[in-house]
Structure 1
Amino acid sequence: MFRPLRFALAIGAALALTACGGHKKVRPEADLAASKITTIGVNSYLWRATLDTLSFMPLLQTDSNGGVVVTDWYVNPQVPTERMKVTVSILDQDLRADALRVAALREVNQNGQWVSAPVAASTVQKLEDIILTRARDLRRASITG
Structure 2
Amino acid sequence: MTAIRNLNRPLAVAAVALASLGLAACGSNDRPRADLAAAQVSTIGVNSYLWRASLETVSFAPLLQADSAGGVIVTDWYANPGNAGERVKMTITILDTDLRADALRVAASRQVNQAGNWVDAPVQAATVQKLEDIILTKARELRRQAIAEN
TM-score above 0.5, yes or no: yes
Aligned match for 2:116, one of 112, 119, 125: 112
**What TM-score do you get using the length of structure 2 for normalisation?**
0.74
Q: Quick one: distance in 2 between partners of 1:95 and 1:105? A: 25
TM-score (norm 1): 0.77
RMSD over aligned CA atoms reads 0.7
Q: Which runs of 4+ in 1 moved over 4 A?
A: none
State which of 61, 79, 104 in structure 1 corresponds to 2:83: 79
Larger Rg: 2
The separation in 1 between residues aligned to 2:131 and 2:81, in whole angstroms, is 20
CA distance in 2, matches of 1:117, 1:82: 9
Partners of 1:110 and 1:80 in 2: CA distance: 12
Match of 1:91 among 92, 95, 102: 95
The partner residue of 2:40 within 17, 35, 44 is 35
The aligned counterpart of 1:121 is 125
- Per the alignment, residue 131 of structure 1 pairs with 135
Distance 2:121 2:41 in 1: 38
Structure 2 gap segments, 5+ residues each: 1-34
Higher relative CO (CA 8 A, sep ≥ 6), structure 1 or 2?
1
Q: Which residue of 2 aligns with 1:7?
A: none
Percentage of identical aligned residues:
70
Tell me how far apart the structure 2 counterparts of residues 41 and 70 of structure 1 sit (CA, whole Å): 17
Residue 70 of structure 2 aligns with which residue? 66
- Partners of 2:86 and 2:59 lie apart in 1 by 18
User: What is the letter of the counterpart of residue 49 of structure 2?
Assistant: Y
Cα distance in 2 for residues equivalent to 1:37 and 1:109? 41
Q: Residue type matched to 1:97 in 2?
A: A
